[in-house]
Amino acid sequence: MKKYTDAVIAIGLIAAVLISQVVSFFRDGDSLEHIRGNVLRLHILADSDSPRDQELKLKVRDELLESGLLSEADSLADAEEEVRGHIPEIELLAEDVLQHNGCDKKVRAYLTEMHFDKRVYGDITMPEGDYHALRIEIGSAKGHNWWCVMYPPLCLPAACEVTDDKEKENDFFDEKELDILRKPEKYEVRFAIWDKICEMKDKMVVQSDEIQPTT
C-alpha cells in the first residue's frame, strides 16, 4: 500500500512540475507577443554601403530623432497615427538633410509590418519576429540599415551617438519583458519552440479555411 501511495505522490509531483512548466511556457510566449505587437521600430536604409552613404544615413537618423516625433504617443496606435500624418514631413526632413550635404537622392518613408532578425540595441536585445516599423529608404536603399525602437521612444540622441532610454524601458515593459530583452539567451530555445508551434497553428487555420464548404 505504501509503495502505491509513494507512486501516486511521485506522479502527482511530476504532473505538477509539468503543468507549471507549461503555464510558464505560455506566459513567456504571451510576453514575447506583447513585445512584438506593441513597439514601433525605426528602420533607415542607406543608398549604398559606401562610407559617404552610411554617413548620410546617420545624419538623417540624427535629424529625425532630434525632431521629437512620437515623444507624446501613448500607444502603438497613437504612434502609427502620428507617423502616418507626418510622412510627407519626414521625407522632406530627410531630403533636406541630404541636400545640405550635397546629395540629391530621394527618400521614401512608410509604415509597414516586417520581419526582423534578433537585433541588439544598447543593453536590450529585441527578439526575432514580425514588427510594426517606420521604414525610411534613401535612394536605392541597398545599403546597410540602422534601427532602433521608436515607440516607446527608446532612442536618445546624445552627442552624435544614440543611446537607449532606460527610464522609458522600465516604464513601458514589465519585469518579465525586461528579463526577455536583457537576458535573451535564457529564452532562445523556448521561443524557437513557441514560434514553431505558432507557425503550425497558423498553417492549420489556413488549411481549415481552405476546406470549408462553399454555399
Q: Give the confidence band of 6 by pLDDT, cuts at 50, 70, 90.
A: low
Q: What is the chain's alpha carbon radius of gyration, rounded to the nearest angstrom? A: 23
Per the model's pLDDT, the better-predicted residue between 39 and 207 turns out to be: 39
If DSSP states are collapsed to H, E and C, what string results for 163-203? Answer: EECHHHHHHHCCHHHHHHHHCHHHCHHHHHHHHHHHHHHHH
The domain locations on the chain are 1-202
Read off the pLDDT of each residue in 203-215 and give the average, rounded to a whole number: 61
Give pLDDT tens digits for 181-190. Answer: 999 998 998 8
* 27, pLDDT greater than 90: no
Within 8 A by CB and 6+ apart from 131, the residues are 36, 39, 40, 41, 113, 114, 115, 116
Instruction: Kindly report the average pLDDT of the chain as a whole number.
Output: 84
Say what angle helices 2-37 and 175-182 make with each other, to 10 degrees: 80
State the pTM of this model.
Answer: 0.79
Quick check: 13 pLDDT over 70?
no
Determine the Cα–Cα distance for residues 47 and 151; give it in Å rounded to an integer: 25
> Cα–Cα distance between 112 and 148 in angstroms, integer?
15
Q: 10 Å Cβ neighbour count for 10? A: 10
- 92 in helix, strand or coil? helix
Any idea which residue has 506583447 for its cell?
34
Cα–Cα dist 204/136, whole Å: 35
With cut-offs at 50, 70 and 90, classify the pLDDT of residue 159.
Answer: very low
Cα angle 62-150-92, degrees, rounded to a multiple of 5: 50
Residue 86 in contact with residue 69, Cβ under 8 Å? Answer: yes
- The set of residues, in sequence order, having a beta carbon less than 8 Å from that of 182 and lying 6+ positions away, is 123, 124, 125
| Chain-centre distance for alpha carbon 54 | 23
Residue 58 in this model has a pLDDT that exceeds 60: yes
Largest CA distance in the chain: 89
Banded model confidence at residue 169, pLDDT cuts 50, 70, 90: confident
User: What backbone torsions phi and psi does residue 75 show, to the nearest 5 degrees?
Assistant: -160, 170
